[in-house]
Amino acid sequence: MDFIEQAVNRRMGDERFDFRQPPGEDALLPADSVTWRIFKNPVSMFVGGITAVILELAEPRVRDGVWNNTSFRTDPMGRLRRTGLAAMVTVYGPRSKAEAMIAGIRRMHGKISGVTEEGFTYNANDEELLNWVQGTASYGFLEAYSQLVKPLTDVEKDSVYREGSLPASLYGALGAPRSQAEQQSLFAAMQPKLKPTGVIGEFLELMLSTSVFPKLLRPYQHLLVRAAVAILPAETRQHLELDAPRWQLKSWQHSLIKLSGRLADRLVIKASPAVHACQRLGLPDGFLYK
């Protein structure tokens, strides 16, 4: 059991989390936020999550903390589910439970320290690392949505970074980017610290081989993994040696993913955290699908 699972279970119990309870309790972010709109889309969330992890693993201290202290290698599907649940609770969960979960994750982070093979010391609560993780997550999710579902304006992109500042501060990422300009500055400052590593290749192979989708949809899963590589900043993709042909999408493949992303954005999934959160607040099931 890794630290995310421990934090979720300790604060919410082992039962399935119910985003409909308690009725009327607000989330950390308002229901009319851009973040609520983009987090409802399962296609862009899957792609953006992989993009974010690639960027995180490129930073040696984050790589060591994640790869050596979580169950990515032994239980990738379980890890994806737990990380996904934590993201959904942060955005859609009632504020009191989201705050409790984040506090639990912070406590678990405090116990994760080490020294990388390059000789860098770290603690998982180091603010610089938390800022990087928050910045890469925001970048991955909003760019996946904007490039594969529906283009976001610069104002909307800035809103996503600004909306993330409250959850980021609770996680300890006090210097997380609050705009595209700050995100670009963060990426420029971190670029010299990013290293190509076999761990990224190992992670991508896990994402290709793990049964996330039914067997008949496995080729589609492979396309989504390649799409995650494609939305990396071009300079970073080249620096991490991920510009090989195997990671490139053909134009028809990119169009297919965009079509599925747009369809997913109009499909009201009754059992999703997004719809259940709307129900908790007395909003129509289709509130986010307008």
Amino acid at 152: L
- Residue 212, Cβ neighbours under 10 Å: how many? 17
DSSP labels for 173-226? -TT--SSHHHHHHHHHHHGGG----HHHHHHHHHHHHS-SS-GGGHHHHHHHHH
**Residue 168, token pair as written in the block:** 């980021």
Q: Measuring CA to CA, how many Å separate 70 from each of 5, 75, 94?
A: 10, 9, 26
pLDDT tens, residue by residue, 37-57: 999 999 999 999 999 999 999
- Residue 277, Cβ neighbours under 10 Å: how many? 27
**Residue 54: which of 254, 195, 218, 253 has the closest Cα?**
195
Mean pLDDT of the region 150-155: 98
Mean pLDDT of the region 174-202: 96
Buried b (16+ CB within 10 A) or exposed e, 137-152: bbbbbbbbbbbbbbeb
pLDDT on residue 248:
94
For residue 22, is the peptide bond before it cis, meaning its omega torsion is within 30 degrees of 0? yes
Q: What is the pTM of this model?
A: 0.93
Query: pLDDT-based confidence at 70, cuts 50/70/90?
Result: confident
What gap in Å lies between CA 156 and CA 173, rounded to an integer?
A: 21
pLDDT on residue 186:
97
pLDDT tens, residue by residue, 79-90: 788 889 999 999
The answer to whether 101 and 286 have CB atoms below 8 angstroms apart is: no
pLDDT on residue 14:
40
Ranges of each domain in the chain: 3-289
Give the DSSP letter of residue 75.
-
pLDDT tens, residue by residue, 1-33: 354 444 444 444 444 799 999 999 999 999 999
**Residue 203: which of 108, 63, 106 has the closest Cα?**
63
Using DSSP's 3-state secondary structure scheme, residue 58 falls into coil
User: Which sign, positive or negative, has the C-alpha torsion 271, 272, 278, 283?
Assistant: negative
The answer to whether 167 and 130 have CB atoms below 8 angstroms apart is: no
The answer to whether 105 and 87 have CB atoms below 8 angstroms apart is: no
**160: pLDDT strictly greater than 90:** yes
